[in-house]
Chains A and B, each alone.
Chain A
Amino acid sequence: MTRYMFFSGKGGTGKTTMAATTAVYNARQGNRTLIVSTDPASNLGDIFECTIGHKITGIADNLFAMEIDPDQAAAEFREGVIGPMRGIFPEDILEVMEEQFRSSCTTEIAAFDRFTDFLSSEDYDLVVFDTAPTGHTVRLLELPVDWSKYMEESRNKGSQVKLGPVSAIQGAKEKYDKAIAVLRNSATTEFYFVLRPEKTSILETERAQNELKALSIDNFKLIVNGIIPAEEAHTPQYAKMAAMQQRYLETIEQTLSQPAKLVYLQGGEIKGLLNINKMADIMYEGKSEAITGAYDKGEPFAGFAAVGSFKEMLARDNGQRIIIFTGKGGVGKTVTACAVAVHLAREGNRTLLVTTDPAAHIAYVLDHEVGGKIQAVKNVANLYAARIDQKVVVESYKAEIIANAQKSGYSPDMVAAIKEELESPCTEEMAVFEEFSALISGDSFDYVVFDTAPTGHTLRLLELPYDYAKQVEMLVNIKHDTSSATSAAKEKLQKLVAKIKDKAVCTFLLVFYPEYTPIFESKRTYDDLQEAGINIQGVIANNILSLAGDSTEFHKNRYFMQQYYLKVAQKQFDVPMYGISMFDEEIIGLASLLQIENELFS
């Protein structure tokens, strides 16, 4: 019987490397193994140092690999459907259809669709997936509503075009039911969660697990990656971080309480079959020979933008300037946003900081509690802050709409469908975006600084004048319960979109870590916003290491790896780049914020 392993984890946790290592180990144990990647940010070919692509490729004895780029698959598919319609249908209709194929859930479903092809294959002893479906995808595929049956009854045979990923759900229920049964079968299927001993990583793992547990998928294992090796834990560069990691390792043991494999940070990157084999020795056979880097130890990166240009970029004329930070979770957006807001306030600008960070964290960073209403930050003149509690906002949104749907006497199937609609990431973004708009509708601040950005997809949806407005209407209308509020809210949202697309008033900055996956994930964000007409004006590389006289070999390796990736990042992002040093402890309080301020502004 074929076994399946799914690897789940956010970008930068080392998910693909762990999946590749596990595949290599199993292959060399004599199991015919296939590793499949559907993660657009990961790159199996890069890890194995060979060309793989969209076909099953032999890598070593018993080891096969295949890469699926769901973005590309979705794009090709989109063109396949829309291409023939160009010139025949009016532009505004084509626009709606194209956007449909761009949502993150559509991509997820496209990826899941590819999974199912392998879930019935008998050719392998083990299939390793470097991505796992989320709870949202699984629930969606389980929805009882099946409109296709209405359509099928009167369908003209032979007149069908190929169905899109979304429509495909409706026709392929049986196939997906089978696939979901495989996910639930703990005799054949394991879910590996790759995480780091850090707060955000632990919270994300918990959330992802709870979603799957609610769907009776629960054969979980943990891989905790990136642990500072014992011999580095007492060096000046890593001592504090190692102590912090120890605390989080305890948290992991207490809160997640699952079998966990601990994997230590390596000096070099794990690339090439030789290194992956070494990694398999370390992970699965308890060997301790570390992997060291082979980076050019020559010239350090010298491409940071000139000191002072950051300040110039954020300068405003007479009106208001909006500054929006974007980047993946855990890269330090909130801390950077805080430092920038503190700086602007100290320069005498009335500044509003809007954060979506959980309360406890922002209170530490700013030395100050921040609530839902705009309030002055006591220890910094001119600084005001407001916090959007994403969870509360989204939950109340959902609760009201569902209550209304039930009141209207919809059938349970329909209520389930509406519930799932509300679970989509787009809805969450919409809810938060609406709160944003409420906070910056006035002009009473010189600067408004956000630590979270809407995605390009959200912005594009909001701009579609007819269709998406309907969906907003559905949400807003039920929430405010008057139709005049509906058009007012819609208008406000659209005005806000226009405002943030205007370079003269709004600056987008991207925060990232100088490592492989984070750079390529950030590049996707960059491109996505660009497609929505927004150009990111600057990028900030966070956690930059520096060399000291007493640096260990391990630290030097890490340092040169970063220097290499800074050069890579510069090629990817064609905008000024700034750097923030790695701090050896968590950023707490105004004093440490001022350190960051200092690095960015002077």
Chain B
Amino acid sequence: MKIVVYEIPVGCCAPVSSPEEAAFKESLARLKQDGAEVEVISITQSPQRFLSDPVVSEITQKEGRDAFPVTLVDGSLFLKGRYPAYEELRKS
């Protein structure tokens, strides 16, 4: 399983700015242990990746920032507007 999360971070300095984000990033290591391939793509670092994926590009253009973070699982849309919980991803 390949999980890709596209995010638009907003915190002033520190790496996390919401409890869900914190929980999600905590679970990254566990997901990897479970055998998933996980990638987090930040708009400040890789803006072009937001455009190169057709699903994400469409969301970016049509819905704007409200739709982020966007999670894709194996290339298709899994979740918009918030970070996924570990359990949700486990089930999928």
A residues touching B (Cβ–Cβ < 8 Å)?
Answer: 81, 85, 88-93, 96-97, 99-100, 103, 105-106, 109, 140, 143, 145, 147, 150-151, 154, 156, 159-161, 163-164, 166-167, 169-170, 405, 408, 410-411, 414, 417-418, 420-421, 424, 426-427, 464-468, 470-471, 473-474, 477-478
Contacts and interface: CB of A to CB of B under 8 A. Distances in A.
A471 B66 contact: no
A85 B61 CA distance: 12
B74 to A, nearest CB: 15
B87 to A, nearest CB: 14
Contact of A147 (B13, B40, B60): B40
B15 A466 contact: no
Given A150-B38, A167-B42, A474 B17 contact: yes
Contact of A470 (B10, B46, B50): B10
Nearest to A401: B19
Nearest to A99: B10
Contacts of B26: 410-411, 414
Q: Which 7 residue pairs spanning A and B have beta carbons closest together?
A: A421-B14, A467-B10, A103-B12, A105-B13, A154-B39, A92-B64, A90-B64
Interface of B: 8-19, 22-23, 25-26, 28, 37-51, 60-61, 64-66
Contacts of A468: 10
Contacts of B65: 90, 92-93, 96, 466-467
Contacts of A159: 46, 48-49
Nearest to B8: A96
Contacts of B46: 156, 159-161
Contacts of A96: 8, 10, 65
Contacts of A474: 17-19
A518 B18 CA distance: 37
A426 B12 contact: yes
B15 A170 contact: yes
A160 B50 CA distance: 12
A418 B46 CA distance: 24
Contacts of A170: 15
A386 B26 CA distance: 42
A485 B1 CA distance: 38
Contact of B15 (A100, A145, A156, A477): A145
Q: Identify whether the interface residues of A are mostly helix, strand, loop, or mixed.
A: helix
Q: Identify whether the interface residues of B are mostly helix, strand, loop, or mixed.
A: mixed
A161 B16 contact: no
Contacts of B23: 408, 410
B16 A421 contact: yes
A540 B43 CA distance: 43
A417 B14 contact: yes
A167 B44 contact: yes
Contacts of A85: 47
Among A81, A93, A100: residue with most chain B CB under 10 A: A93
A427 B16 CA distance: 13
B13 A418 contact: no
A97 B9 CA distance: 8
Nearest to A411: B26
A168 to B, nearest CB: 10
Given A89-B50, A163-B45, A97 B8 contact: yes
A145 B10 CA distance: 17
A90 B22 CA distance: 27
Given A93-B43, A96-B65, A167-B42, A471 B14 contact: no
B39 A151 contact: yes
A438 to B, nearest CB: 23
A88 B12 contact: no
13 contacts: A90-B60, A93-B43, A97-B8, A99-B10, A105-B13, A147-B15, A156-B49, A159-B46, A161-B46, A161-B48, A421-B16, A470-B18, A473-B18
Nearest to B19: A474
A86 to B, nearest CB: 11
Given A93-B60, A93-B64, A151-B40, A143 B15 contact: yes
Contacts of A424: 12-14
Nearest to A415: B22
A103 B13 contact: yes
Nearest to A425: B12
A465 B40 CA distance: 23
B8 A467 contact: yes
A151 B42 contact: yes
A439 to B, nearest CB: 25
A100 B9 contact: yes
B11 A471 contact: yes
Among B16, B25, B41: residue with most chain A CB under 10 A: B16
A103 B39 CA distance: 27
A208 to B, nearest CB: 18
A418 B60 contact: no
Contacts of A147: 15, 25, 40
Nearest to A477: B19
Contacts of A464: 10
B73 to A, nearest CB: 15
A393 B79 CA distance: 36
A248 to B, nearest CB: 34
Given A93-B8, A160-B45, A474-B19, A150 B28 contact: yes
Given A424-B13, A426-B12, 9 more contacts: A85-B47, A90-B64, A93-B8, A93-B65, A105-B13, A150-B25, A151-B41, A420-B14, A471-B10
